[in-house]
Amino acid sequence: MATLMTQTDERQADNVDQAEAVREEALGSLRSTHNLQWSRHLYKARIKNTDLILFATQLSVMLDSGVVLSDALDAIAEQAGDERFKLIILDISERVKSGETFSHAIASYPNIFSSMFISMVKASEASGQMAEMLTVLTGYLNFEAETRKRILGALTYPLIMVLMAIAATGTLMFFVLPRFTTIYESRGTALPKLTQVLVGFSTALANFELMTMVLTSLILFGAFMHYWIRTVTGRRVIDAMKIRTPVIGTMFTDMVVTRSMRIMATMVNTGVRLLDAIRVIQGCVDNYYFQQLWLEVDDRIQDGYQLSEAILVAKDSDLIAPGIIQMLRAGEKSGKLGDVCDKVSLFYEKKLEASIRAVMAMIEPLMITILGAIIGTIAIALLLPVFRVSSVIAH
């Protein structure tokens, strides 16, 4: 019996050694890159949103069960389906074992972990409530994924219409229209004005040099816009359009307020200082004007203001509804600021869903109307020569 137990122990030890060897081999391939090219490849790597959600969920469950962070990361890495993500998790685990904080380790991969993810993890390290914070993060990621899915679903039908319209219009313009042009020219008769415009457009599309210039100009303009929106001026203009545009602006504002209140509720309830929570919110909101609002609120609170008062006297206080400010004031007086923020976030989640439905209800008919107008104009331009062809031939 003793011999059998010894053999069993030896097998288990061999299995552990084998698993460790596989892990070290994977890490070896990662480290050997410091082998710069592969390192850059991992730095720029992107993963599916579902993989990130699964990672946050698994890590939250394991930490809540008492598993050590580095062991949890190792276990998750073994189950990862994406080989690049597996290596990234193993690298994060090694960084944590060497003494780095988890937030600092994941900050090395900004294409995978957003500033919100990193900021909330950093705050949870200070409060010791990482499992709870990861649960909140999972909820955010799921909600954002569902929002994107709804938007894409609403745009699918108009997109199919666009593709079919392009195919049908291209066939008519490049195969049918030239025949009528030949008939009219042979009879010495001018095409209808609207059709002439369409002929001019199709001729321009067939002009290689002209189209090369147009495409080059568009590429240069796109490159300029790409860099411009990263400047302070560009961000201010784009972010102002996001929050000031009717209907769509309401959706963006509700999204930012929901995120801000949920983060504040989570942090205040887990014992994080209010100033620390506000600084995390600054890093999590992706709108210039909201960032400036929370920056000013931070300064006012340091000067001795209450949260509700600081928001009220801030320059962009109109971004926060007066009702929210009143509720925050009541929460401060009762000492239940975290609970009030949680209720506000729940209310705004429902409001955000209604805003998304309103935007979706507006986009689809708007696109159909615009496409209908374009296709209708082209159809009329193509049909006018058909209606007059018999009189032209008789002439």
pLDDT average, residue stretch 307-313? 87
Residue 70: closest CA among 42, 52, 84, 90: 90
Q: Give the C-alpha separation, 290 to 303, whole Å.
A: 20
Q: In angstroms, rounded to a whole number, what is the distance separating the alpha carbons of residues 385 and 383?
A: 6
183-187, 235-239, 358-362: which has the minimum mean pLDDT?
Answer: 183-187
Same topology between domain 16-113 and domain 128-395: yes
* CATH code of the region 16-113: 1.20.81.30
Neighbours of 177 (CB within 10 A): 20
Residue 174: DSSP 8-state: I
Kindly state the DSSP code that residue 336 receives in the 8-state scheme: -
Going by C-alpha positions, the residue among 280, 256, 120 that lies closest to residue 295 is 280
Domain edges within the chain: 16-113, 128-395
Condensed to tens digits (0 to 9), the pLDDT of residues 33-84 reads 444 344 555 666 677 788 888 888 888 888 888 888 888 888 888 877 777 8
Q: What distance, in Å, lies between the first and last C-alpha atoms of the chain? A: 112
> Which tens digit of pLDDT belongs to each residue from 254-301?
888 888 888 888 778 777 788 888 888 887 787 888 888 888 888 888
The pTM of this model reads 0.68
Q: d(Cα 248, Cα 239) in Å, to the nearest integer?
A: 12
Distance CA(57)–CA(63), nearest Å, equals 10
| Beta-sheet strands, E only, within 252-320 | none
CATH of 128-395, one of 1.10.10.10, 3.40.1160.10, 1.10.287.3510, 1.20.81.30: 1.20.81.30
